[in-house]
């Protein structure tokens, strides 16, 4: 692991630093083109006054760790400072067979149960969390005449 934070200037570098569990320092605004991986290590993110932009399509940060291959959560602690997270969106999945849509959780930052997050000088601007669409009730068209 490097001494000091990993300097990130683009989405690829940010994604790699998250996957490697490295402390992060932004050196540029970053606009996402895909969801970032979950932050599963205790790290510090220094936004250095820059912006993480979800482009009205992608979640900002997902913080939570699980034991590999299980649903058992692991405690993780993340500190975020001097960062603006804007236009990040979490959208729940759509329902099926008359079911309701899934919850959209954590537009800017999703924090899992065993995660602890400390923020300072963090601005959240224009973010949203939206539930997925429910599905229509589909009746059985049945019969021998060409139901839909």
Query: So where are the chain's domains?
Result: 6-130
pLDDT attached to residue 104 = 54
Length, in residues, of the chain: 148
Tell me what pLDDT residue 131 has: 59
What is the structure's pLDDT at 69? 86
Contact 24, 4 (CB under 8 A): no
The number of beta carbons lying within 10 Å of the beta carbon of residue 76 is 22
The pTM for the full model equals 0.80
Measured between alpha carbons, how far is 22 from 13 in angstroms, rounded to an integer? Answer: 11
**What would the pLDDT profile of 2-30 be if each residue is shown by its tens digit?**
589 999 999 999 999 999 999 999 999 99
pLDDT digits (tens, 9 = 90+) for 86-144: 999 987 655 566 555 445 566 799 888 899 999 999 999 999 877 544 555 554 444 43
């Amino acid at each position: 692991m490097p001494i000091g934070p990993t300097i990130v200037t683009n989405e690829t570098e940010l994604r790699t630093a998250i996957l490697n569990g490295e402390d992060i320092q932004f050196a540029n605004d970053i606009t996402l083109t895909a969801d970032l991986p979950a932050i599963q290590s205790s790290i510090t993110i220094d936004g250095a006054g820059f912006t993480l932009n979800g482009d009205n399509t992608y979640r900002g940060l997902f913080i939570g760790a699980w034991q590999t291959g299980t649903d058992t959560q692991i405690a993780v602690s993340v500190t975020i400072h001097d960062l603006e997270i804007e236009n990040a969106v979490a959208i729940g999945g759509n329902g099926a067979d008359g079911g309701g849509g899934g919850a959209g959780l954590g537009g800017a930052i999703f924090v899992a149960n065993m995660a602890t997050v400390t923020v300072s000088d963090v601005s959240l601007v224009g973010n949203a969390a939206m539930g997925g669409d429910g599905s229509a009730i589909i009746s059985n068209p049945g019969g021998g005449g060409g139901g839909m």
